[in-house]
Structure 1
Amino acid sequence: MLPNPSNNKLQSAQLGDQFSSTGFILAAIGSSVGLGNMWKFPYITGMYGGAAFFLVFIGCLIFVGLPVLLAEMAIGRGGRGSAVSAFNTLSGSKYWGAFGFLAVLGAFAIMSYYGVIAGWTMHYSLISITGSLFENADYTSTFGSFVGGYTPLIWTVIAFLVTGVVIARGIKGGIEKFNKILIPGLMILLVILMVRGLTLPGAGAGVEFFLKPDFSKLTTQSVLVALGHAFFSLSLGMGTMLTYGTYVHRQQSLGKAAVAVGFGDLMYALIAGLIIFPTIFSYGIEPGQGPGLVFMALPAAFAAMPLGNLFGFLFFILLAVAALTSAVSLLEVPVTWAMDKLKMSRAKAAFWVTLICFIVGIPSALSFGVLADFAPGGKTYFDWFDFISSNVLLPVGGLLVTLFTGYAWKRAGEEAGLTGPIYKIWMFLLRYVAPVLIIVIFLFSLGVIKFE
């Protein structure tokens, strides 16, 4: 017998508000297709060998990402609660729930500075369409002036308001409806920008760099980076997929949903590459520049192309949509916990969690100017939150999921809908492959182990 949802803390009206099958898949895809695949994936691909790196990323997505993704979804639907109570319910032990709180904390920490970046994308959307972005050809200076003042706070408020309102409106009327509108729009924008990129003069060199493998450039370090990106691009280890799984009905095939989400994440990464690489090669931009590629290098390309204002606007709107769909999933994790643990209504939980998360994020918004000199250990407030959440909380959260599903939860296969050889392969990956690789990523990201 599977646990009865009516016995859990998160019940009645809250659990009655569930995703439809399509709505769940779109929301899960919206969570995974965040900023990482648009601004991080191109530059790490550029740094670590182009197409060869992309092929390794695909393998990591299939053999590590999808098994852990399915495990998170199954825990959420089986436990019918927050990341804390779901573990408590399925294990019968409060200790697993205490570990589950790390996922809540991780999602909260990431959202506190992710909302800042979402605000940046919204600001750049506005100054792209008005043309003011292109008035000064020194785009590094333009970006520095923006993040160095108080203006980012205004845009952070807007990003948090949009996210909080969506969460407050519930699962079906808020998160599902939001993603049903934005995810198709996201795909349209991706296709438009991909066509524009592929038709630029000299775009073929960028396509070749991205799609022609050169395995001589692969190193142990590049494989670990691909593995880490595959894991984190699916929003694993932060409780988002677990929390979304709470609101999935019993008739939903979790296996098919996991494959659909993985495929959506992969296609987003592929199209992102077919946007970024043709564009930067057409205009002589270095592909391995880092996150500054988006806000400082690409505007120069848009300024040089016909209708650059329009395509710059579409690009930053694309980023804003990706940021906001991921932000919604991040904020839902601590909101569900507050509804569950503190017995708050959804509206009240959304208000207080959003407000507190914004307050915690204020120093991150000011880390590039007003508080730039506050850098203990050589890291700003923004950098510390990013480092701790990405390199500590998320790997530990992902490791927790694999160990719990692989060893502690005896009915995992039943909830996931897996039997026979497929179940055995899933268990093997969760018990022996994923935990080892996650630990290696964890130690590598902390600098404990190093590879050339």
Structure 2
Amino acid sequence: MSVQNSTNTSDKKKERFSSTGFILAAIGSSVGLGNMWKFPYITGENGGAAFFLLFIVCLLVIGLPVLLAELAIGRSGRGSAATAFVRVGGRRGWKGLGILQVIAPFMILSFYIIVAGWTLHYAVTAFSGNLFSNTDFAGQFSQFVSGYMPIFWQFVALLITGSVVILGISGGIEKFNKVLIPSLVILLIVLMIRAVTLPGSEEGVAFFLKPDFSQLTAESALVALGHAFFSLSLGMGILLTYGSYVRKEQSLGSATLAIGVGDLIYAFIAGLIIFPTTFSFGIAPDQGPSLVFIALPAAFSAMPWGGFFGGLFFILLAIAALTSAVSLLEVPVSYTMERFSWSRKRSVWTLAALIFLLGIPSALSLGMAPGLTFGGKAFFDWVDFITSNIMLPIGGLAITIFAGYFWKGAAEASGLRAGWFRVWLFMLRYIAPILVFLVLLHTSGLIKFK
């Protein structure tokens, strides 16, 4: 399909977000498992409050400028992530980097949906009481991931995700987020109140809110930078795709700020849930990924109404996971609808089937098929490493370089006033590319700090 023909197809596309629906959908894409699962343990590993402040700075310095660039390119291109660069005036060589941003979310979803399935399983077992009937939570988790049940829950999570995306933008993704994002906020507030009122929670609050800058290292700076970048779903084609559904009258500057604030508030409340709870029950906050699925169930089992609050916590995780999964699936769906002229229904179920099949080796590599390990990493970890540490930084770097140096229509598309536009352009040209490149070197393992 030629660029001209695909442009005509895009112009006829009637799917659009409402202003509120777009912001909620974009927030939904960013408030995934990263801020509730990854953010607490990397904050715990890097000193607490000082790291959180560093994360805020990185969000402002690199996150928001790149976020605005992605949305502006997406709205101007009015197509899939694969053709966005070419449609706004870039040479055909840029299309390869656009296709990279279609492949990345496809691969990410193949392992992300597995963890989403875990959260659904834990929510069900928490409310049923089965989770807390045996206090060997490490053994429970190991037994669960070593069996076939993760594949069943992977299927359930993918079925829910596909059922939302198949309904389209306004009828599916927008309505889904309009229900789940407010529900997420309510759950966050309820769990935060429970956490900060636990006996001994004050130490956890202090750890998260009283900075000790002596705890920060060069390694901490790059980790904060990387998480600020990834927590906003940058470099993975989501915001390019969502931008194509944004109405012309929508202020992208205001939307960027709202999305950034929403992501930050979510991370803040997540910290006020995790750290008061862990400190209250004497759990170290730097336990890595096991913090959520092993350490926190132990804490919930020891508190009054622990089954109820534990169930709420895993429902919270499941909602966060599914809102992001919907965003990830929409990227390749948008591309296949544009490239092959498929219906939305055919695109969704074909891609969902392929993602499910690709996810099976990842699920089995964690238990049932330990032979699916290469170079000391399970298949699951390799897919995660390649996408998160290599493909996404390359995608983000492409955004900054294209918008900063090659896009002639950036000023008009951004909608910024002259002064703010100059600041934005300076960040995209001279600050963001260097920092994103450092993140790429760090996450790929080419540079390390002790």
Same fold, TM-score > 0.5, yes or no: yes
User: Secondary structure of the equivalent of 1:183?
Assistant: helix
In the TM superposition, what is the alpha-carbon distance from 1:226 to its structure 2 partner? Answer: 0.4
Contact 2:81 2:102 in 1 (8 A): yes
For residues 369 and 81 of structure 1, what CA distance do their matches in structure 2 show?
40
Correspondences of 1:217-228 after superposition (within 5 Å)? 217-228=215-226
User: Secondary structure of the equivalent of 1:159?
Assistant: helix
Gaps of 5+ in 1: none
Write the letter of the residue equivalent to 1:315.
F
Contact 1:5 1:79 in 2 (8 A): no
In the TM superposition, what is the alpha-carbon distance from 1:91 to its structure 2 partner? Answer: 2.4
Contact 2:108 2:387 in 1 (8 A): yes
Contact 1:8 1:81 in 2 (8 A): no
**Equivalent position to 1:285, from 283, 286, 289:** 283
In the TM superposition, what is the alpha-carbon distance from 1:421 to its structure 2 partner? Answer: 1.4
In structure 2, the CA distance between the partners of 1:5 and 1:63, relative to structure 1 (3 Å rule), is farther
**Equivalent position to 1:388, from 386, 389, 394:** 386
Contact 2:81 2:240 in 1 (8 A): yes
**Equivalent position to 1:375, from 373, 376, 379:** 373
**Equivalent position to 1:159, from 140, 150, 157:** 157
**Equivalent position to 2:333, from 332, 335, 338:** 335
For residues 175 and 165 of structure 1, what CA distance do their matches in structure 2 show?
10
For residues 90 and 40 of structure 2, what CA distance do their matches in structure 1 show?
44
Write the letter of the residue equivalent to 1:299.
P
Give deviations 1:85-123, integer Å, cap 9, x for gaps: 111211252211111111111111100100000000000
In structure 2, the CA distance between the partners of 1:284 and 1:86, relative to structure 1 (3 Å rule), is same
Contact 2:201 2:277 in 1 (8 A): yes
Structure 1 residue 52 corresponds to structure 2 residue 50: yes
For residues 346 and 117 of structure 1, what CA distance do their matches in structure 2 show?
26
**Equivalent position to 2:85, from 84, 87, 93:** 87
For residues 152 and 138 of structure 2, what CA distance do their matches in structure 1 show?
21
Moved more, 368-377 or 311-320: 368-377
Correspondences of 1:330-369 after superposition (within 5 Å)? 330-369=328-367
User: Secondary structure of the equivalent of 1:25?
Assistant: helix
In the TM superposition, what is the alpha-carbon distance from 1:8 to its structure 2 partner? Answer: 4.0
Residue 182 of structure 2 is matched in structure 1 by 184
Write the letter of the residue equivalent to 2:37.
W
For residues 46 and 9 of structure 1, what CA distance do their matches in structure 2 show?
49
Contact 1:143 1:295 in 2 (8 A): yes
Residue 205 of structure 2 is matched in structure 1 by 207
Contact 2:372 2:379 in 1 (8 A): yes
For residues 336 and 154 of structure 2, what CA distance do their matches in structure 1 show?
22
For residues 158 and 37 of structure 2, what CA distance do their matches in structure 1 show?
21
For residues 451 and 5 of structure 1, what CA distance do their matches in structure 2 show?
50
User: Secondary structure of the equivalent of 2:83?
Assistant: helix
Contact 2:36 2:267 in 1 (8 A): yes
Structure 1 residue 99 corresponds to structure 2 residue 97: yes
Residue 28 of structure 2 is matched in structure 1 by 30
Contact 2:90 2:407 in 1 (8 A): no
Contact 1:168 1:347 in 2 (8 A): yes
Identity of aligned residues (%): 60
Residue 125 of structure 1 is matched in structure 2 by 123
For residues 4 and 175 of structure 2, what CA distance do their matches in structure 1 show?
28
Residue 10 of structure 2 is matched in structure 1 by 10
For residues 282 and 92 of structure 1, what CA distance do their matches in structure 2 show?
54
For residues 264 and 171 of structure 1, what CA distance do their matches in structure 2 show?
21
For residues 189 and 119 of structure 1, what CA distance do their matches in structure 2 show?
19
For residues 214 and 286 of structure 1, what CA distance do their matches in structure 2 show?
17
> How many positions carry a matched residue from both structures?
448
For residues 28 and 8 of structure 2, what CA distance do their matches in structure 1 show?
27
In structure 2, the CA distance between the partners of 1:72 and 1:238, relative to structure 1 (3 Å rule), is same
Contact 1:75 1:245 in 2 (8 A): yes
Residue 244 of structure 1 is matched in structure 2 by 242
Residue 265 of structure 2 is matched in structure 1 by 267
Contact 1:9 1:85 in 2 (8 A): no
Contact 2:74 2:81 in 1 (8 A): yes
For residues 6 and 109 of structure 2, what CA distance do their matches in structure 1 show?
30
Residue 111 of structure 1 is matched in structure 2 by 109
Residue 413 of structure 1 is matched in structure 2 by 411
Contact 1:47 1:288 in 2 (8 A): yes
In the TM superposition, what is the alpha-carbon distance from 1:371 to its structure 2 partner? Answer: 1.7
Contact 2:196 2:202 in 1 (8 A): yes
Contact 1:32 1:234 in 2 (8 A): yes
Give deviations 1:295-352, integer Å, cap 9, x for gaps: 0000000000000010000000000000000000000000000011111111111111
In the TM superposition, what is the alpha-carbon distance from 1:447 to its structure 2 partner? Answer: 1.7
**Equivalent position to 2:309, from 283, 308, 311:** 311
User: Secondary structure of the equivalent of 1:132?
Assistant: coil
For residues 283 and 70 of structure 1, what CA distance do their matches in structure 2 show?
41
Write the letter of the residue equivalent to 1:182.
L
In the TM superposition, what is the alpha-carbon distance from 1:6 to its structure 2 partner? Answer: 8.7
For residues 71 and 90 of structure 2, what CA distance do their matches in structure 1 show?
19
For residues 209 and 137 of structure 2, what CA distance do their matches in structure 1 show?
29
For residues 338 and 61 of structure 1, what CA distance do their matches in structure 2 show?
32
Give deviations 1:251-306, integer Å, cap 9, x for gaps: 00011001000000000000000000000000000000001000000000000000
Write the letter of the residue equivalent to 1:448.
L
Gaps of 5+ in 2: none
For residues 429 and 367 of structure 1, what CA distance do their matches in structure 2 show?
41
For residues 226 and 141 of structure 1, what CA distance do their matches in structure 2 show?
32
Contact 2:71 2:239 in 1 (8 A): yes
For residues 205 and 79 of structure 1, what CA distance do their matches in structure 2 show?
50
For residues 280 and 332 of structure 1, what CA distance do their matches in structure 2 show?
36
RMSD in angstroms over aligned alpha carbons?
1.3
User: Secondary structure of the equivalent of 2:358?
Assistant: helix
Instruction: Give the alignment's TM-score, normalised by structure 1.
Output: 0.98
For residues 341 and 6 of structure 1, what CA distance do their matches in structure 2 show?
8
Instruction: Give the alignment's TM-score, normalised by structure 2.
Output: 0.98
**Equivalent position to 1:431, from 429, 432, 436:** 429
Residue 73 of structure 2 is matched in structure 1 by 75
In the TM superposition, what is the alpha-carbon distance from 1:4 to its structure 2 partner? Answer: 10
Structure 1 residue 257 corresponds to structure 2 residue 227: no
For residues 103 and 92 of structure 1, what CA distance do their matches in structure 2 show?
16
User: Secondary structure of the equivalent of 2:189?
Assistant: helix
In the TM superposition, what is the alpha-carbon distance from 1:367 to its structure 2 partner? Answer: 1.5
